[in-house]
Structure 1
Amino acid sequence: MAVTAITSRELLQAMRQACGLPRVNEKHLDEPLLAALIRRAAGFLCPCSRTTVAASVVESLEFLCDQPETLRDRVDAAIESLIAFGDLLELNQVTIDDPNAKGTWIFAAPPGFVKLRSGTVLLLGISRDESMPLPSELSEQVMYNRFARLLPIGDKGQSAALAALGLTAHTEEAWARQPPTTTPQALVEKLGSKLSSIPASGDLPELTFVRSDSDVRYYRGRWGAPRNETGMFIGRRPQEFGREARWGVVQLTNGVSGKFLDLPTRPRWRGCDEAWYIQMALDASRRTPQEYRVRAGNDGVHLDFFSPVPSWAERRLAIVGEPAPREKCLFSYRVPQSELKAQEEYLQKNLWLVRVDDKGVVEG
């Protein structure tokens, strides 16, 4: 039997075909293929840790990508995006009976779909046997926008047809998992009441927290150890046996922790998402709101962010736009000019952010 040598480009194309992706001229490992490979691995391996899925994918691709030194970072970021979209679920989003399950475990979400307000359908979840259980007439219509799988606007029977195939229908509100609109002051008062109702935690060694007097434009520089601060803050406390640090709301008195409210406080939320949301409320209530910037680009408008945003807010950005190279910010999204007004209204009303121009002047 003759053995035929193939190039890495030919192998990547074969992988695309096996994952049900359309054939393109892309010779590199692009985001739709990376997402499809992670879904395939998760379908076989989950429930398991993120590390298990990431290691499996990295091992299979390390000799096929142009920059293997950055592959693990790309895979980790892709897994994070698939969790944000809803293809993967973290442990705190589900309930199991195993008390030994690690907090970093992820699960493959069952196949489902969300009909967005625009009429476009977002496909979710993972099937163990195939990338998505769709007949050929529908699978050929799927559009791949980075990590998202979308179906164009169909007729009135589209949702019923998808449900008949066994896909679970989710409302956009349930999929977004975003909190109801409120004010920063109301959210801070609610958290204060929760803190007052829990027992004292005692001093927490190695606690880190977000300083209230720090620059809202430098997220990493806002973190530090308590000194003599008093008040309510977002913090992280280490856990035993090498687990990731726990997010929470901490009450400090002269730099000493008195109470620590573990996050998340709601099912299907992540601790980091709720923490970032609460930090936005704390900053806004202290009259030092977090900021975003708008920059003009050749192929759209750039929204620059200086602090992380909750996954439900990033899902909105990812549906209408795509990540862009950052410029003196933490991360940036490129969105069409037609979407800018709606996105800004959401950021200002629901996350209490304020817009600054390129010179750092707040726009009123």
Structure 2
Amino acid sequence: MRVIQPADIATITAASLGVRGGNVRDLLKPALRRASYLLAPCSASDLIRFVAEPLSPLGDLREETEAELQDLIAYGDIFEMRRIDGDPWDTPNVVLRPAPPAFVMRSKTQAFILGVGGDYPSPLPAELSASLDYAGPVRILDCPDDEDFAGHLREFGLTQLGEQAWLRIPPVTSAADHVADWRKRLNAAPSNTSAVPDLEVIDPTCPPSFYAGRWRAPRQAEAGLFVARRPQVFGGKLWCVVELDAGQPTRLLDLHPSDVFIRPCDQAWRLQAALDAVQETPQQVVITEDAASTHLSFGGPLPSFAERKLALVATKSRAPQCLFRFSSSTGSLQEEIAFLQSILWMQPIRDGGKR
């Protein structure tokens, strides 16, 4: 019998998942893809536990696993959706399922590889899988010498997704109209007369650049429309829109995945962007430039359609003094900045405070 040392766990797991190297964080997305195939339909909490617990000798990886799962859902490797007829009786209302193998062309010779190839590390042949770039939130395959790159990917059984079908960009509207639309939906919800335990709302007076610090309990004198979350008996917190009067919820509308796989958090984050803009404290994108690249830095999360739009031309990474940033070495990202202004009503700020 062989005794496996903790230091060997990452290396052995990486080999089984087709991952080069033994960096623990690099294992999480491949492990989540495979686990989604094995467990689906399943809850996010079950999937996170299934992946994180066997790796516990390497440390507590639950938060990192959850963050990696959110990337997989945001970019379309895993679908978050409502349960369907035929699911087991104990299936939760919102479940995760592996997306079928697909690709989106990023350029003539570069593609995003999406979905889950069953129990295999990748839906691609081994020689192409070895060329996959796993560095960012979504896998990238670059074949500069292939003159019919998309055609060959289709021959391998991957479905080609058109750019617009993958982006799922909502219609352009004003921030005021977007808020008014949500008020109309909330007014159609039944009145609420009972307390909502452990309800938390986004503080409209807290700077949008400090997302984590904006969450708090409702205050006694507060009134109006708020983006909120509330706990449930099983699973993660539920996203909702709530109307407060004297700090008490008078109407509450839970958010659910839409029929086109729009996440509840995407709906909530766009509504909050509209609320911030209406209150003349718009969310900001900080633009910095150096000799090699243009960087767009964000203090809060973006809806998946915005992340996907940026990922077509830029690379996402962690960076100091922000939640994350997108960087491009090939252009000024002016089109993308204009997109963020029109669809999320964001305010561009040049490094140094210039608008």
* CA shift digits 1:5-50 (9 cap, x unpaired): 89946x65554444334x5xx453352x432222223222222233
Does residue 341 in structure 1 map to residue 334 in structure 2?
Answer: yes
Q: Could you say which residue in structure 2 is the equivalent of 1:230?
A: 223
Q: Could you say which residue in structure 2 is the equivalent of 1:57?
A: 51
- Secondary structure of the structure 1 residue equivalent to 2:240: strand
Question: How many residues in Structure 1 have an aligned counterpart in Structure 2?
Answer: 348
Q: Conserved in 2, the CA contact under 8 Å of 1:249 and 1:262?
A: yes
Q: Could you say which residue in structure 2 is the equivalent of 1:29?
A: 24
Q: Could you say which residue in structure 1 is the equivalent of 2:68?
A: 78
Does residue 213 in structure 1 map to residue 211 in structure 2?
Answer: no
Q: Indicate how the Cα distance of structure 1 residues 27 and 234 shifts in structure 2: closer, same or farther if over 3 A, else same.
A: closer
Q: Which amino acid aligns with 1:159?
A: A
* CA shift digits 1:223-280 (9 cap, x unpaired): 33142233222122343x2443322222233434332222247321111111011010
Does residue 112 in structure 1 map to residue 108 in structure 2?
Answer: no
Give the gaps of 5 or more residues in structure 1. Answer: none
Q: Could you say which residue in structure 1 is the equivalent of 2:273?
A: 280
Q: Which amino acid aligns with 2:206?
A: S
Q: Conserved in 1, the CA contact under 8 Å of 2:41 and 2:91?
A: no
Give the deviation of 1:184 after TM superposition: 1.0
Q: Please, which of 166, 177, 194 is the counterpart of residue 168 of structure 2? A: 177
TM-score (normalised: structure 1)? 0.81
Q: Could you say which residue in structure 1 is the equivalent of 2:79?
A: 89
C-alpha RMSD over aligned residues: 3.2
Identity rate of aligned residues, in percent? 31
Q: Indicate how the Cα distance of structure 1 residues 3 and 117 shifts in structure 2: closer, same or farther if over 3 A, else same.
A: closer
Q: Conserved in 1, the CA contact under 8 Å of 2:195 and 2:249?
A: yes
Q: Conserved in 2, the CA contact under 8 Å of 1:302 and 1:324?
A: no
Give the deviation of 1:53 after TM superposition: 2.8
Q: Conserved in 1, the CA contact under 8 Å of 2:43 and 2:94?
A: yes
Give the deviation of 1:203 after TM superposition: 4.2
Q: Distance in 1 between matches of 2:11 and 2:114?
A: 24
* CA shift digits 1:184-242 (9 cap, x unpaired): 12212222222333332334433332233333233333333142233222122343x24
Does residue 315 in structure 1 map to residue 308 in structure 2?
Answer: yes
Q: Distance in 1 between matches of 2:24 and 2:132?
A: 19
Give the deviation of 1:285 after TM superposition: 1.7
What does 1:1-364 correspond to in 2, within 5 Å? 8=7, 12-13=10-11, 15-21=13-19, 23=20, 26-31=21-26, 33-63=27-57, 65=58, 68-69=59-60, 71-92=61-82, 95-98=84-87, 100-103=90-93, 105-116=95-106, 120-152=110-142, 157-206=148-197, 207-223=199-215, 224-239=217-232, 241-264=233-256, 266-267=258-259, 268-296=261-289, 300-318=293-311, 320-327=314-321, 329=322, 331-339=323-331, 340-359=333-352, 361=353, 363=355
* CA shift digits 1:63-109 (9 cap, x unpaired): 4x4xx24x2322222122111121112233x6344464224632122
TM-score (normalised: structure 2)? 0.83
Q: Distance in 2 between matches of 1:282 and 1:6?
A: 52
Q: Distance in 2 between matches of 1:16 and 1:217?
A: 36
Q: Which amino acid aligns with 1:125?
A: G
Give the deviation of 1:156 after TM superposition: 6.2
